[in-house]
Structure 1
Amino acid sequence: MKYNTFKYPDFNWIDIENPSKEELLELSKRVPIDMNYLEDAFESGHLPKIEINGDHIFMILRAYGASENQKVIEVVEISNKIAFLIYKNELITLHRTAFPFIQNVPKNLKTLHEVVLFLMRQIFFATLFLMFLLSLGIFFWFKKKKIL
């Protein structure tokens, strides 16, 4: 498991990458995460969702996740789930694979709102661009030519 903590003036961001089941159980004891959220975040085939529960928001999204060297054929192969648990003073992200946009959050962002908005934009625009390519059939042309 890769566990990073990013400290901001008004909140902390905990990013958790590729935890084992045992690590998830241990994590649920240390961090205020309902075990059901952890199971949903890493359940194979779980659909994107959003839940608003009192003092927090839980989201599961799909984000572009293929590496530059990865040769993929299906759309599902180039996206992976990322879960967000958003509290007033804490952001927790959970995912199996690395996402470059997590390491590339601009240093000038200071608030929880700014960081979450940045992450959502990265996911949204990558997804929108991929959908655009798919609608034109270009994605599969690139695959055929072994460009992607």
Structure 2
Amino acid sequence: MALPLAYESVRRKVKKRIMYVYYGSQDGSAAGFDHKTLKFWSQAKAMGASKLIVGITAEDAKVGDHIFNACACSVVDEIIVEAPKKVDLMFMERRSIDFVLLTEAQQLKTDLTTEEVMQMKRVLVLGKDGVVRPAEGKNASKSE
């Protein structure tokens, strides 16, 4: 009898998190849908995300099999077609998104989030070493 009560008390303490990842040609990830993309999505889901949302821009939805690739992945819970090219705080609040997760390549190549989202520490970067770190804004990297 103690097992169900212990499980229930732990379940109530676990915070449900919604993670958002970008999938598109702007960062080069959709150009080559491969094991790296699947691994990234699996790692995003394994970080304690109760829901993984993949965003695809309108331009990327028209070209290729971007939507089918995302739908075929078992760790993806929701797909946003016609997602904004740049994620802002209003979009995150409207969709109840807790964090935006980027790869190191996405952080270096593109501007996928606004500076406001970066300052609120709601952008995480998954490094090649598998460690997740808060993303640094452009102003922070220039001052160092």
Between structures 1 and 2, the one with greater strand share: 1
- RCO (CA 8 Å, sep 6+): is it higher in 1 or 2? 1
TM tier, shorter chain?
0.3 to 0.5
TM-score by length of 1: 0.32
